Chains A and B, each alone.
Chain A
Amino acid sequence: MASLQDSIREAAVVPRRLAAARDPMIWAFLAALAVLFWLPELVLHMGWAKFWIQFATQVFIWSLFAVSFNLLMGYAGMVSFGQAAYLGIGGYTAGLLLKNIAGLSFWVGLVAAPVGGALAALIIGYFCVRRTHIYFAILTLAFGHIVYLIAFKWYSFTGGDNGLIGIPVPDWITEPTFANYYKFVLVICLAAIYLLWRIVNSPFGKTLTAIRENPERADFVGVPVDRYRLYAFVLVGAFSGLAGALIMANERSVNPDLAHWTQSTQVLLMTLLGGVYTFFGPVVGALLLRTMDTDITQNYPEIWQLFLGGVLVLILFALPGGVMGFIQERDVSSGDDQATRTAKMLRLFRRKSWMFFGGALFFTTFFGLLHSPGAWLLAKGREFAPFALTSWGIVPGALLQLVVGAAVLWLLLRRADRFNRIDGLLLLALPVAALALHVHLGTPLSGLLIVLLWVVFTLYSLAQPEFRLAYRLGRAAADGG
């Protein structure tokens, strides 16, 4: 008799038997490491602001936080509203140890942080995992708020609202360009995210997903549901604690704000924005949200929460699967033959292309406006020249994008079902050209990211087996199947 647990084990045997070196994903991680490792050198070589090195560091730390959070939210179906508590506990554990015990190795603090996060998650999770859904959300929120209040009010221990300042960290971290610390964070975060990848694909991860899908059934086949939930909660607490310690070392201080509910909001939003049911969605979300944060708070810090709220509402209404979910979403039913599937994909591709076009237009315009407020008709501080696009203001620029871009996209999409290879390449070339144009115009990074996602989307769609086949066979594939 094959129980659910057996079949879960069965399904997970394959990745378990594979050695780490034979898991194809390890090569992707190593490649990412090899490329991203040299980012500081690139920034310094190109003479860009050193801020970007720190920015990338933050993105990686938040990616780790968000990916681990998604283990809870996406894989185990437990939406926690107080995850910043473990970020804060990790930061305070490492910070307090390093500050109060003179001469303590930085590494001890770094190892203590996930232990502290896991312990706190064990205690709090013991009470929280008994309830699910809304109740779990409220409980985690309430306990998260307790942690914040303790950090905020216990002056003699945590330094109250001043936080812990001047935490001793090794010299190699404080090196002025922050390149060393970036590389350190990169290695740790990639290793941790890879570990999370192995966890979600392990029998344990599959069991969590089974619990998310049907807790009663998992219970019937003998999975100790609450205990598995607690394991997941503790595990995520540990990774969050690690992220907290990394943030602490980045700033050499800890502030109660680290445990504030707004941080929990941010990680929730990163996960939702990037895509809940995808492993790498939260990374995309972290990158997008950090970038938008930088672009918005530069000139308009007071509207950041307003913007976050708007994005959250927009995601819930329009993009329930987040960006990655949107890119990967397919409309397939098992009875479809090749031709139907290709036709369905094409329809979806057209619709999504228009949505990306609209999104890119909106984001580039919106952030352009935030970047140089008041430059409605003419760019500021530049002599107007009709043929120099960089001297155009926001409104004419957006109109040009709208008219020319929409015309070209319409033409290309109309020809898409002929499946000429040239048309496919042109479809890809359009967003690439848009990206190049915006780089030339100096559009803020958030706008560029959306266009970049459009490129990724087009590339991803064209690489799908249905499209590849249709393009290889020409139009016949669409007609005759």
Chain B
Amino acid sequence: MKQGERGMANLTADVLFVQFMNGLFIAAGIYLVASGLSLVFGVLGILNFAHGSFYMYGAFFVFALIGYKFGGFWPALLIAPAIVVILGITTEILFLRPIYKADPLYQLLLTYGLVLMFGDLVKLIWGADNQSVARPPGLEGTIPILGALFPSYQMFVLLPIGILTMLALWLLLNHTQIGNVVRAATQDREMVGALGVNVRLLYTGVFAVGAFLGGLGGAVLAPMGALYPGMDFDIIIEVFLVVVLGGLGSMAGTALGALIYGELKSLGILFVPDLESLFIYVLMVIVLLTRPQGLLGKRVETSR
């Protein structure tokens, strides 16, 4: 074999590997945010538009906490989602509790109103300019793996947190008593209430976990891009795509949807740069036409 051809082949394999890993990074990031939305939808039946706002607040709280010299990035990574949880619980009690029995579209509209309010509050507090968060010390550079260079932050923070979250959610939902109740609630909310579970508390708890995941996603992704008012809306559309693709309310579907989303996005760049974001739409259209309930979703007549 000639030298040149082998170089070509190696290059292609290398590039594919690099893009595959990049796809994993994207998938881990979007999964963190999307899992919270999917969980909340599965239990509460509310498609929470304001989930993108939780993501945005997670990122901006990290920015603010670092600005206050509050021990740097790592404490901020823990504290920011905690503050978002408080925000989420307040939202749930004030706005969502009164409308659980309303038409799902009204619930969607209500959370849409919350998005508008949360968005302007960010502008009022932090201004309309782009902000940025520096990567934590020691993780600014890249690390070589199998001959390719990868950003260490994505490799050592984003990906592990994404995988750990997935494992933790799986364990929590499938191997604990609380998980049993939550899974039962996704099947039949009224029956769970009739069996003596405090449904109010359950809803608030699940919403808090959802908000935590959204805030965590924002906090983890904060050092990887610009922070700006409007990032909430940009992510919520992609999160909706991922969740609809995988099947609304299905946690495994969300993980699969995130993986497909990330890989399509990063491998798509190789073939059709600039239009890579269209791939996911095309795929979503195909899925919806052939399998309307999403890849791993259960067929529910009322969800039509």
Contacts and interface: CB of A to CB of B under 8 A. Distances in A.
B116 A79 contact: no
Interface string A135-170: 101110111011001000100000000000000000
Contact of B278 (A130, A146, A272): A146
Contacts of B98: 317
B304 to A, nearest CB: 6
A310 B115 CA distance: 10
A132 B288 CA distance: 12
Interface stretch (B148-156, B233-241, B254-262): B233-241
A158 to B, nearest CB: 14
Given A142-B281, A302-B124, A313-B114, A137 B105 contact: yes
Contacts of A146: 278, 281
A261 B233 contact: yes
A308 B116 contact: yes
B20 interface: no
B128 interface: yes
A311 B114 CA distance: 10
A354 interface: no
Given A261-B233, A312-B110, A306 B292 contact: no
Contacts of A306: 116-117, 119-121, 124
A48 B117 CA distance: 34
B95 interface: yes
Contacts of B123: 302
Q: Which of B116, B233, B237 has the most CB of A within 10 A?
A: B116
Contact of B105 (A133, A145, A153, A310): A133
Given A308-B116, A316-B110, A138 B105 contact: no
Given A138-B240, A304-B120, A153 B274 contact: yes
B104 A312 contact: no
B231 interface: no
Nearest to A78: B105
Nearest to A316: B110
B289 A142 contact: no
B240 A316 contact: no
A139 B240 CA distance: 9
B112 A312 contact: yes
A261 B230 CA distance: 11
Interface in B174-233: 233
Contacts of A141: 237, 240
Interface in A116-140: 127, 130-135, 137-139
Interface string B154-179: 00000000000000000000000000
Interface residues of B, number: 41
B-side binding surface: helix, strand, loop or mixed? helix
B284 interface: yes
B116 A305 contact: yes
Given A265-B112, A303-B124, A316-B99, A135 B303 contact: yes
Interface in B71-101: 95, 98-99
A265 B116 CA distance: 9
Contacts of B124: 302-303, 306
B109 interface: yes
A309 B237 contact: no
B240 to A, nearest CB: 5
Nearest to A77: B105
Interface string A266-277: 001000100000
B47 interface: yes
B39 to A, nearest CB: 16
Nearest to B301: A216
B277 interface: yes
A450 B274 CA distance: 48
Interface string B112-137: 11111111110110001000000000
A120 to B, nearest CB: 14
A137 B108 contact: yes
Contacts of A137: 105, 108
A149 B99 CA distance: 34
Contacts of A139: 244, 288
Nearest to A272: B109
Given A146-B278, A309-B120, A316 B109 contact: yes
B120 A302 contact: yes
B70 interface: no
Nearest to B241: A142
B285 to A, nearest CB: 5
Given A149-B277, A313-B110, A134 B117 contact: no
Contact of A313 (B102, B117, B248, B292): B117
Contact of A79 (B105, B113, B119, B248): B105
Contacts of A317: 98-99
A421 B106 CA distance: 42
Contacts of A132: 304
Given A149-B277, A309-B115, A142 B284 contact: yes
Nearest to A312: B113
B117 A127 contact: no
A146 to B, nearest CB: 6
B243 to A, nearest CB: 9
Q: Which of A141, A149, A265 has the most CB of B within 10 A?
A: A141
Interface in B263-304: 274, 277-278, 281, 284-285, 288-289, 292, 303-304
A305 B120 contact: yes
14 contacts: A131-B304, A134-B248, A135-B304, A145-B237, A261-B233, A302-B128, A305-B117, A305-B119, A306-B124, A308-B116, A309-B113, A309-B120, A313-B95, A316-B102
Instruction: Please name the 9 residue pairs, one residue from A and one from B, whose CB atoms are nearest each other, closest first.
Output: A309-B116, A312-B113, A309-B117, A306-B120, A313-B113, A305-B120, A309-B113, A305-B116, A138-B240
Given A142-B241, A305-B116, A309-B119, 15 more contacts: A79-B108, A79-B109, A127-B288, A130-B289, A133-B303, A139-B244, A142-B240, A142-B281, A149-B277, A272-B109, A304-B120, A312-B116, A313-B117, A316-B99, A316-B110
